[in-house]
Every structure is written in C-alpha cells, then in structure tokens.
Structure 1
Amino acid sequence: MPGIERFDIASLYIARLDGRRVALWGWGREGRAAHRALRRRLPGLPLTLFCAPGEVDDARALGDALLTIETDVDAERLSAFALVIKSPGISPYAPEASAAAERGTRFIGGTALWFGEHPQARTICVTGTKGKSTTTALLAHLLRAGGHRTALCGNIGLPLLELLDVNDPPEFWAIELSSYQTRDVAASGVRPGIAVATNVFPEHLDWHGSEARYVEDKLALFTAAKPRIAILNGADRTLAALNLPDSEVRLYGVDAGWHLRGDVVHRGERAVFDTRDVPLPGRHNRGNLCAVLAAIEALGLDAEALAHHAATFQPLPHRLQTLGVRDGIVWVNDSISTTPHATLAALDCFRSRRVALLAGGHDRGIDWSDFAEAMRLHAPAAIVTLGQNGPKIQARLAPVAADAGFALAEAADLVEAVARARALLGCEGVVLLSPGAPSFGAYRDYTERGRHFARLAGFDPEAIAAIPGLGIG
C-alpha cells in the first residue's frame, strides 16, 4: 500500500494520482469540484467517497461506476488510501485524520491540486482573519477596471477546481484563501506570485485545535509557500513581526507604504485618493483598499491610476450590508462576522447611531472578555445575545451593562432576537446582526443566517445574496 514515505505530494498534479488509492472526503461544492476534476483527467481511476448519509443519493445520481460511496469514516478506513482529498471544512487534526496520517495517508484539498496544475499562473492570494473576501473582490474589480482579464475565485464562493480548464485563461488570478486552505498552496510545491495578509487574530479554534496552530496554519501561505512578494499589514503586530527571508516583503498600513490618513489614501507622503465616496463601510474596510493598491503596485501596474475605480465597487453581501429601512429602523446584515473583533469593528461604524446588536452563535471557545471591556466605553443602546454561546456572552456582559448604560437581553434564536431588538429600539435606530460567532448548528453557514435575518426584517433574502464578479471577467 502506498504510504507517506513513497508518495511525496510536493509538485503534485492530478496525473500523478494515476494508480494510487485515492479518496474524497466531503461532498459539498469543493468535493463535487474535486470529483469532476479527477474524472476529467483520470476517468479510469477508482475513487472512494466519504460523505454524510444525506449526500449519498446525490453522489449516486452521477452514475459513476468507479465511485465507491461510504458514510462511516474512521482511521482504519482512511489509512487504506495514499491520498485523501478533503473538503475545507474537514479538519486534518480530527482524531481519525491524525491517526491515518501517522500511518502514511496524506490529506490535501482541491486548492493544492489546482496550484499543481497551474504552476505558471499569475496568482495573487489573499488571506487574513477578516477582510479577505472584500480585499480579493476589490482587487479583481480594480484590475478589471484597468482592462486586465482577472479571475475572482477560491474561498469567496467559487472553488478553484471549477476553473481547472479555462479556454481563455485570465491574466491574473485573485484568489481568496481561508486558514483551511493556506497549507494547500505550500503542499502543491508552487510558489504564489503575490500573497496578501490583512490581519491575524483568533478564529476557527475548533478546526485548528488551538490559537497557536490557527496562526501557524494561516501564515503557512507565507512561511511555507514562500510567495515571491508578501504584502503584509504593518499595523498588525503578528504580521509586522514575520521573518520571511525567501520573499520580498512590502508593508501597507504604515507611513512609508500605502496607508490611510483620515479618509485619504496615501502612498508614503503623497495623497492619492479620498475614500469618502467609496462604498466600503468602516475604516477597516477602507484599509483593505490599501492592501489592494499595494498588491497592484507589486504586479508592476500603476496603482494610483486605478485607485479611483474603488468608487464603483459593489460591496459583498453579509458584510456590513445595509438591507434598507423598515418602520424607521435601519437593518444591517453582518452575518460574516464570526469573531468578537469583527463585531467591535462593525459597532465602530455606527458609533453615532442608536444600535441594537445581535450577538452570539456557535461556541468556538473564543473569550469575549475583551469585547465586554470595550463595551464600558463604546456600548450600543442594546445587545441581544443568542445561540450556543449566548449565555457565555450574557455572563460576560451582565456586570458591565448597568455601569455602561446599555440594555441587555437574551433570545432563544434569531426570530426572538430580531423581535427583542425591534422592541428595544422602538421606531428609530439600527438593528445590527454582527454575531461574532459562526452559524453552525442553527444554520448551514453564515449566508443562510444572513438570508434568514433579511427575511425577518422584511427584505427579499435572495435579492441580497449574490456575490458580484465571481469567475473570470
């Protein structure tokens, strides 16, 4: 049986899997894209799919005679394969995966396969705890505005393997990578042309197992994949301290590089662009524009000439998305917020308004103490907690609420939370869904949570959900 000592996945491309024992783990969009990619290159390769019972019928409907479908996953079964191509949401640190890896099984994602098939692609990879989707989409928008055919893909909503074979390849690939995918780039053996990091703070601790491992995995895009040029937020202490001897490092968010002074983007001492007309709510989002301009400059293009096109950028859904006004209340969907840090940034955007915040969701073990302390100085009018970690947040906030002068309420679910927020505000203010926690358990993902919030607020959930610009344009 092939094992780790016989199967080095560096410089991996799909043809190298021929004759190997290969399995797919997960049947979401990424898993289906991986299956199509393997069948396109290796139509005669036997495959095993590990999936949930509810996904079996969908997989069988493909009519793939060489696909074996199993619903029980354990270390013994996984260790029967030389390579397991897993979906991003499946942690390689799960006990069954760790045990199989010790026996020689290698685990990768579709991102590694795509990079192995496209070693010459001009890639700009974007990661970060928050801001990576907006940064990637804004990058693609500005490049296209400058006449450059650009792909917008990756974690933002279009798996790379869905663009495995493109008849008319783009000039540039703007690729968002989550912390689940960054090690895949290093595993492929292909160096990215440019890699961008917006910030790093604790998230996804249940997947990574610890804060230290999360940071290590996130930064593997730089430390292990060794991009030719690394664009780092110099205002982030973790990123600014990175030592990357194999990459040219360029910092933004510092006086010598691209940075904001008030509302104006500067390149060093030179004022370049007033961002007040840019549809990016919050200073943190406009800081992402600095990351984009630094990346465009690193491509050898005139970033200053493209900067003004940011004014025509269409914001992404579920990210500080103003849905509209109902009965005097402004409804804002920030369902993408999955950390307390992101919730604080969202609140900062509405500091001058009466806000009822909806906070809470899946419990990843992140401490809300810093958030509670921040509420002593800059609290909204009301906070309604909900979800699995709602009681923990409530416990942190209860000692603060009376002194800080904000109303504090609990809700069993989003339906009740919206009703309580509406009642607390009356007929004026902002209801802000910025939960600071994932949606798992109650919802499939943050987009489903955001659509439900829109429906409860009286808006068409489908009309607010599309991500503009995905694909090649």
Structure 2
Amino acid sequence: MSRTDGTAGTADAQDGPDAYEPRPGLTHRDADWAGLRVLVAGLGISGFAAADALLERGVHVLGVDTGSGQTLEERANILRILDANLVLGEEAVAAMKRPADLLTDIDLVVTSPGWRPDNPLLVAARDAGVPVWGEVELAWRMRPEHDPAPWLTITGTNGKTTVVTMLAGMLRAAGLRAAAAGNVGTPILEAVLHPEPYDVIAVELSSFQLHWQRSLSPLASVCLNIAPDHIDWHGSLEEYTKAKGKVYANTQVACVYNAQDLATEQLVVDADVIEGARAVAFTLGTPAISMVGLVDDVLADRAFVAERETSAAELGTLADLTRGGVPPAPHVVANALAAAALARAYGVPPVAVREGLRGYVSEPHRIAPVATDADITWIDDSKATNTHAAQASLSAYEHVVWIAGGLLKGADVDDLVRTAADRLRAVVLIGRDREQIAQALARHAPQVPVIDVPQTDNGAMDLVVEAAASHARPGDVVLLAPAAASMDMFANYGARGDAFADAVRRHLGASPS
C-alpha cells in the first residue's frame, strides 16, 4: 500500500483460498451452519459466547477446557442443556495427551485467545488439515448478511483500550449506536449478535486475536505502536509484529499509523488492502497532508477535509483532555489523535470528536493520580505491563521515583532503563523478575539508588510505598509503572494498582499533613 496515494499493495497468499473453510459459504450468520462439527478450545468469556452462538445455529459443539472452578461449571451446565459435549478439567488434561483423538470427525476448531499456537491440540489440528479460527474470525462470519455494522479496528502494544473507549465516545456523540467491543468491554460476538443492531463497532484486537484472523475487512484500522511484548506467546518479535500487522488486512477506507513509530508505517506499506484505502498518520508534530496532529495546542485534521492541501479542521484542544488541572501526557494525546482519525474515517464531524474527548473518562490504573502530599504526586499506572507502556509513562514526568517489576514476559529492559535514567530519583523493585531490572540499572543508571523488596505477601506494597517515600523530594512523582505483568504477586494489574493506592493512603494517613 502506498502511504499517500491509497493504492493497494500485494501480500503473499495465505495457504490458498479454501484452507480455512470447513464448508463453503460460511460468511454470515444465516449461512448453512447446521450439522457442522466444531471443537471450541477454551470456555472462558469468548469461548462460551462462541459455543452458544454455534449451538443456536444447529452446530454440534465439543467444548474442551482444562480449567476448573465454579464459573466454568456454571457455563458448562448451560452448554450441556443446549446439547454441547464437554471435556473438562482433569479429563481434558488427560485427553490433551492424545489431541488427535479429540479431533476425530471435527470440521473446525474455534480457539480462545489464551491458547497459544503451539498448544498440542492446535498443532494437531493444523497437521490434520482442520481449520482453526479465533473467536474474532467467527464473530466476523456471524454478522448479518445485509448491512452489517462496519468495524473500526484497533491494535498496538499499548493504548488500545484508551483509543477504543475514546472512539466509542466520539461515535456516540455523533448520534450513532456504537459499542466498544473485542478485547475490552462487550465480547465481540455479543456485539455482533445483539438484538438491537449497532451502527458501528469499535473493536479492540490483541495480537492473540489477530493471529487467527483470516477474513476481516474493517472500514478503518490502526496499529498504535509496536514494542516487544508477548514474545513468549508468539515465539519472536517478528511473529508478534506480523500478528499486529493483520489489523490492516482488507481495510476499506483508511489505514491509520503512528508517524513516530516506523514499524507501524511499514505494516501499512506491506498491507494488502481494498483498492482506494488511504494511509493516514497521526503525529504529535504539525500534521502534513493526510495526517492528524498538533498545531500548538489544537488537535488538527489534514486528512479528512476537502481542502487538506491548504487547510485543516480543528478537532479539539489539549484543554479538552486536561483532567483535574493536569495536562495530558504525550501518549494520551497520541491516543486521542488515533481515535479521532478512525472517527473521521467513518465520517464523524469535528464537533462530535471534540465532545467525545471532553466526555472521556480514563480507565482505572492508567496514569491515575492517587494523591498529592508535600508536593509529591503518587501515580498509579499499573496497566503499564510492558516496557513500551512504562517508557511512555516515565517520559511524562521530569523526576520520578519508579516502582517496577513483576513478570517481564521475555522483554528486554535495557532500552527502557537507558532512556529513563536521567529522570530517575530512585527505583523500588518488586516481583519475580526484579533482578533483571536491577542489572539494567547497574549498567545504565549506576548513580540511581535501587531498593529491592523481595516480599510477596500482603504487606509488600506498604514496604514499597515507605521506600519510595523515603527517596521522593518535593516536585517528584512516585510512579507505579511496573513494565511487567502482575500475576506473580497479584490476581491482575488492577489488584496491583489497588494495593498500591491503598498503601499510599495508609502511608499518608500516618504522616503529618
């Protein structure tokens, strides 16, 4: 694809046109699904929704899940009533030792995002020539045959949820019935099959979901950024990037990319799109033609205006993104511009873009102020679960006491530490992979005090906060931006952020005001 003229490029064929078709014509919800034999791998939220939708259309469903627990059993009871066959828990663990047996007479496997491509069952399906779809692929094929709601698709290492939420707000401000779905909010199958159809759906897609997609054709699409993440799942950065690039495949109107991230631009160049689709960049600089960007404090559109060679449309200002008197961090502005580009590609007027920005409420644990005391600001960015997110967070502040650590998921932290070194007042390390961060700090920021907190019990965060407070000075930010996943110590990043905020409040409550 050309970056400026919108002409479609070519891409290598994907194993032939029929490689992923268990039966001809399965392109809409009213196609001939009846009698198909489908194995649904994983019965979490997306797997349960997939099984339910298939059963409703007369499909013979075999559900496989190696987990256990009350929630799974409740879902299983519903599926059994609907005549699904299930292999669960220890029985599923044993069956997975002979995955080919599970695939006997199976026409299609629908896999949940958590199942890695090297899972024995999925490998056996590939070897046996059984098509494998993700739940997003199934959702696309479950749209109505006539006038289905267009999809605006979003991926990237960081910022996806922010962008999809901002975008949904812009669409609703334009009077459209819109949903934020996919990897966040409403499950995509639920959105597609909703009895009151949506006008348009903003779809957040993870690299796990994109890995399995084959036939999506979004109206507009964006990859916000690329940085090492989920390498353990994909096997390499190259495969991770390849999965992210699938967001652009078959885009109809606009492929939106990050002018500050050359990897996203290359993905657009390489994409095989619908003829006439345009490349549109977002930038924190002054926008050129076919870009959205910043002119002083104005978010400006030079991509979706008739006279874009000589003029721009005002979409909002930085004041529309300011909350509590705190100006937006640069990556929040970039996210707003990306969301605005997708909204404009759909035809949303500038006034609705601005109203959407004004109404946006940040998701919890995303650069969330916890407290300010003695001119020290405490910030919860527990959602910064990878190095790219942590770098964006650190770059927003001049002097930082950084709280970092957890499960690095195979990521290298050297570049992160090197670029942040001049901002660091001190670093407090937690979690399983904290030694890897400590070694990077020794190499690239040897002058920075490092406090190691090996405890993993309920009182660990109190020790972390006390250590951070002892090094913070007036004007500093104490920032929880771990650059790592949380499951070594907490149920999820939300629980980690809550523990931090609670510990901060306890600390400040015990301190003189």
Provide the TM-score with structure 1 as the length reference: 0.85
Quote the residue 2:45 is aligned against: 29
Conserved 8 A contact 2:394-2:420: no
Alpha-carbon distance between aligned partners in 2 of 1:240 and 1:10, rounded to the nearest angstrom: 34
Q: Which amino acid aligns with 1:84?
A: V
Alpha-carbon distance between aligned partners in 2 of 1:53 and 1:200, rounded to the nearest angstrom: 35
Deviation at 1:326, TM superposition (A): 6.3
Quote the residue 1:178 is aligned against: 206
Alpha-carbon distance between aligned partners in 2 of 1:381 and 1:78, rounded to the nearest angstrom: 56
Quote the residue 2:15 is aligned against: none
How do 1:16-415 and structure 2 match up within 5 A? Answer: 16-42=32-58, 45-54=60-69, 57-62=73-78, 63-64=80-81, 65-70=83-88, 71-72=92-93, 73-74=96-97, 75-80=99-104, 81-118=106-143, 120-184=148-212, 186-187=213-214, 189-223=215-249, 225-241=250-266, 242-243=268-269, 244=271, 246-247=273-274, 248=277, 249-253=279-283, 254-256=287-289, 257-268=291-302, 270=312, 272=314, 273-279=316-322, 281-303=328-350, 306-325=353-372, 329-351=376-398, 354-376=399-421, 378-403=422-447, 406-412=448-454, 413=456, 415=461
Q: CA RMSD in A?
A: 2.8
**SS at structure 2 position matched to 1:53:** coil
**SS at structure 2 position matched to 1:398:** helix
1:70-90 deviations in Å (ceiling 9; x for gaps): 331343345433322222122
Conserved 8 A contact 1:84-1:107: yes
Conserved 8 A contact 2:231-2:409: yes
Alpha-carbon distance between aligned partners in 1 of 2:101 and 2:479, rounded to the nearest angstrom: 46
**SS at structure 1 position matched to 2:116:** coil
1:361-413 deviations in Å (ceiling 9; x for gaps): 1131111111121133x32211112222211111110233333xx32111224
Structure 1 residues 447 and 41: alpha-carbon distance in aligned structure 2, compared to 1, 3 A threshold: farther
Structure 1 residues 419 and 94: alpha-carbon distance in aligned structure 2, compared to 1, 3 A threshold: farther
* Counterpart selection for 1:437 from 475, 479, 484: 484
Conserved 8 A contact 1:232-1:239: yes
Structure 1 residues 91 and 375: alpha-carbon distance in aligned structure 2, compared to 1, 3 A threshold: same
Q: Which amino acid aligns with 2:172?
A: R
**SS at structure 2 position matched to 1:375:** helix
**SS at structure 2 position matched to 1:24:** strand
Point out the more displaced range, 393-402 or 211-220. Answer: 393-402
Q: Rg: which structure is higher?
A: 2
Point out the more displaced range, 226-235 or 110-119. Answer: 226-235
**SS at structure 2 position matched to 1:298:** helix
Structure 1 residues 383 and 367: alpha-carbon distance in aligned structure 2, compared to 1, 3 A threshold: same
Point out the more displaced range, 162-171 or 361-370. Answer: 162-171
Deviation at 1:342, TM superposition (A): 1.3
Q: Which amino acid aligns with 1:283?
A: P
Percent identity, aligned pairs only? 27
Deviation at 1:334, TM superposition (A): 1.2
Q: Which amino acid aligns with 2:152?
A: I
Alpha-carbon distance between aligned partners in 2 of 1:360 and 1:303, rounded to the nearest angstrom: 41
Conserved 8 A contact 1:359-1:386: yes
Alpha-carbon distance between aligned partners in 2 of 1:327 and 1:252, rounded to the nearest angstrom: 38
Alpha-carbon distance between aligned partners in 2 of 1:438 and 1:444, rounded to the nearest angstrom: 10
Deviation at 1:194, TM superposition (A): 1.4
Conserved 8 A contact 2:171-2:348: no
**SS at structure 2 position matched to 1:436:** coil
Structure 1 residues 303 and 424: alpha-carbon distance in aligned structure 2, compared to 1, 3 A threshold: same
Point out the more displaced range, 414-423 or 378-387. Answer: 414-423
1:39-84 deviations in Å (ceiling 9; x for gaps): 3333x73423223133653344435353322331343345433322
Conserved 8 A contact 2:248-2:273: no
Alpha-carbon distance between aligned partners in 2 of 1:124 and 1:182, rounded to the nearest angstrom: 14
Point out the more displaced range, 208-217 or 71-80. Answer: 71-80
Alpha-carbon distance between aligned partners in 2 of 1:455 and 1:37, rounded to the nearest angstrom: 41
Conserved 8 A contact 1:375-1:400: no
Alpha-carbon distance between aligned partners in 2 of 1:328 and 1:304, rounded to the nearest angstrom: 37
Structure 1 gap segments, 5+ residues each:
460-473
**SS at structure 1 position matched to 2:424:** coil
Structure 1 residues 9 and 153: alpha-carbon distance in aligned structure 2, compared to 1, 3 A threshold: farther
Structure 2 gap segments, 5+ residues each:
1-17, 303-310, 507-513
Structure 1 residues 131 and 423: alpha-carbon distance in aligned structure 2, compared to 1, 3 A threshold: same
Q: Which amino acid aligns with 1:116?
A: R
Conserved 8 A contact 1:360-1:393: yes
Quote the residue 1:463 is aligned against: none
Alpha-carbon distance between aligned partners in 2 of 1:134 and 1:77, rounded to the nearest angstrom: 43
Alpha-carbon distance between aligned partners in 2 of 1:6 and 1:295, rounded to the nearest angstrom: 31
Conserved 8 A contact 1:337-1:435: yes
Alpha-carbon distance between aligned partners in 1 of 2:395 and 2:154, rounded to the nearest angstrom: 24
**SS at structure 2 position matched to 1:180:** helix
Conserved 8 A contact 2:222-2:255: yes
Is 1:7 the equivalent of 2:22? yes
Point out the more displaced range, 126-135 or 19-28. Answer: 19-28
Tell me how many residue pairs correspond in the alignment. 448
